[in-house]
Every structure is written in C-alpha cells, then in structure tokens.
Amino acid sequence: MAYAAFFVVAAMAVVSALGLVLRRNAIHGALFLIVNLGSIAVLYQTLGAEFLAWAQVIVYAGAIMVLFVFAIMVLIPGKEETGPDPRRPWRLLALPAGALLFVQLIFVVGRDRGGGGADVSPAGGGVEAIAGLLFTRYLFPFELTSVLLLAAMVGVLLLARRRV
Amino acid sequence: MMVPESYYVGLSAVLFTIGVIGVVIRRNPLVMFMSIELMLNAANLALVAFGRRVGNPDGQAVVFFVMAVAAAEVAVGLAIIVTIFRLRRRLSVDDLSLMRW
C-alpha cells in the first residue's frame, strides 16, 4: 500500500518535471512545476515531515509560483523559443551529459546497501520538533535568514525601480 | 511497512537530472529558473530522506533554510530578468552576451 502510493506520487513528480522541461509554453511549465511541488509535498508527508509539507505548499506552491506566474504574465514570453536555433547541436549535447550525470548519481546512491534505517523510529517532523531546533541550535542562522530576506526585499525594490 | 529511503534518494536523482537538462536545453530564462527550482527541490527531498534514516529532524531544519534562501533567490532573480527585459526588449539567453569578453 505504502509502495503503491509512493510510486504513484513519484510518477506524478517525474511526469510533471518532464512536462516543465519539454513543453514550449512557459505558463504550462509553471503549472507543471506546481504539480511537481505538490507531489513533493506529499512525499514529505510520507517521510513524516508534516511541517515541511505545509511549508512547501505555502512557500513554494503559494508564494514563489505566484511570483513566477506574475513574471511570465508581465514579460509575455513565448517568442524566443520559436524560430531556428543556431546552437541546437550544443543543446542536444545536454542529453548524453545528463545521462552521464544520472548514472553517476545512481552509482553513488546505489553504493550504500546499508538501508538499515527503516527500523529507526521516525523523528517527529511536526512543528514542535522543528521549532525546538530552530530556536536553540540553529538560532543564529534563523536570525540571519531574516536579514537575508530583508536584503533581498531592498535589492528587489532597487532593481525594479524605474530609472528617472 | 515503510518505503526505504533509497527509493526517495533515487527519485531525487531523477528529478535533479531533469532539472540539469532543463537548464541546458531551454532558451527562456524563466524556464531555466524554474528548472533550478526543480533541482533545489530534488536536493531538499534527498535531505529529508537522509534525515529520516539518521532519525533526527536536523535535515528538516536545513531544508527550512534552503526554502528561505530559495525565496530570496527567486525574488532577486526575477527582478533581474524583468530589468534585462526592460533594457533589451528580448528574453532569449543567447542574446545576453554582455558580460562575455
């Protein structure tokens, strides 16, 4: 049962990722990416990370994808990927290179046959466990995150300002 | 009856590879950006899977930071893309050779 659920959700994630990469239309790509992020949120839930599953839905599928769709609407893309591609041979080189990367990754992952983690009691992934870490051991990085977000906001305002 | 972590890490490898290929073969900087998000998510999935194997929630805290950094990165990156579009009126990465000597 757990296996069936995993394979269904994993197939959804892979298919939507392929849709993002292969479809020409950027809006379709954004919608495929939302499906992909949602299925990864489901996988977080099956891994016992409830807090991250909800954060994924709110932060990624909510905030970040709204930003993407908004940028796509503002820029009205779609014309730059029609027409002849003078660098097509170089781009097609990505397929063997990607296959090589995939083989390497699988080689690294497949080397550890340990797999003994299944009987470890799953660490609580609820808000309580995460908050306990964020406000004790990772307190300084957590505060730095707020500085980073503030700096990003100021930078975006500066970049998007109209030149006078 | 839990799915072993190696399945999750394998799926994360697949998604990461698709993201790399997407960055290379597409010409639209917005889609390249979305492929980068795909790679970040693949890495996050691997982190959560490893965290379950080790049995403590530290991996999930790291994923939380990755999400915060990704949000900042997307905001700044999209602002840069919009600024470039305003200056050049085109949106193909092949035209953006300004910083190449």
- Rg (chain A; Cα; Å): 20
pLDDT(A164) > 70: no
Give yes or no for A58 touching B (CB within 8 A). Answer: no
pTM value is 0.88
pLDDT digits (tens, 9 = 90+) for A60-76: 888 899 999 988 888 87
% of residues, chain A, pLDDT over 90: 42
Give B47's contacts in chain A (Cβ within 8 Å). Answer: none
Residues of A whose CB is below 8 A from B64: 52, 55, 130, 134
**Chain A residues lying within 8 Å of B94, measured CB to CB:** 86-87
Per residue in B43-72, pLDDT (tens digit) is: 999 999 988 888 788 888 999 999 999 999
- Tell me how crowded residue B98 is: count the other CB atoms within 10 A of its CB: 8
Nearest to A159 among B22, B30, B80 (CB): B80
Q: To which residue do tokens 């298919």 refer?
A: A15
| A59 Cβ contact list (under 8 Å, min separation 6) | B67, B71
Give A92→chain B minimum CA distance, Å: 7
ipTM of the complex: 0.89
Buried b (16+ CB within 10 A) or exposed e, A123-161: bbbeeebbeebbeeebeeebeebeebeeebeeebeebee
pLDDT tens figures, A13-44: 999 999 999 888 888 999 999 999 999 999 99
**Rounded Cα gap, residues A55 and A38, in angstroms:** 11
The CATH number for B5-95, chosen from 1.10.287.3510, 3.60.21.10, 1.25.10.10, 3.90.1070.10, is 1.10.287.3510
User: Minimal CA–CA distance to A67: which of B77, B43, B66?
Assistant: B77
Work out the burial of residue A100: count CB atoms within 10 Å of its CB; fewer than 13 is exposed, 13-18 middle, 19 or more buried: exposed
CA of A145 to nearest chain B CA: how many angstroms apart?
A: 7
| Contact between chains at B13 and A105 (C-beta distance less than 8 A) | yes
Residue A81, Cβ neighbours under 10 Å: how many? 16
Q: Tell me whether A31 touches chain B (CB under 8 Å).
A: no
Closest in B20, B33, B68 to A145, CB measured: B68
A96-115, pLDDT tens digit by residue? Answer: 888 999 898 888 877 766 55
* pLDDT of A78 above 80: no
How far from each other are the two terminal CA atoms of chain B, in whole angstroms? Answer: 58
Interface-testing mutation among A15, A33, A40, A76, with chain B (most B C-beta atoms within 10 A): A40
Selection from B31, B36, B40 nearest residue B20 by Cα? B36
Q: What SS3 state is found at B49?
A: helix
The Cα of B33 is separated from the nearest Cα of chain A by a number of Å equal to: 9
Searching chain B, which residue's CA lies closest to the CA of residue A129?
A: B57
The per-residue pLDDT for A126 is 77
Closest CA to A2 of B12, B2, B21: B2
Residue type, A157: L
Alpha carbon distances (Å) from A14 to B11, B14, B48, B51: 8, 8, 18, 22
Per-residue pLDDT band for B42 (boundaries 50, 70, 90) equals very high
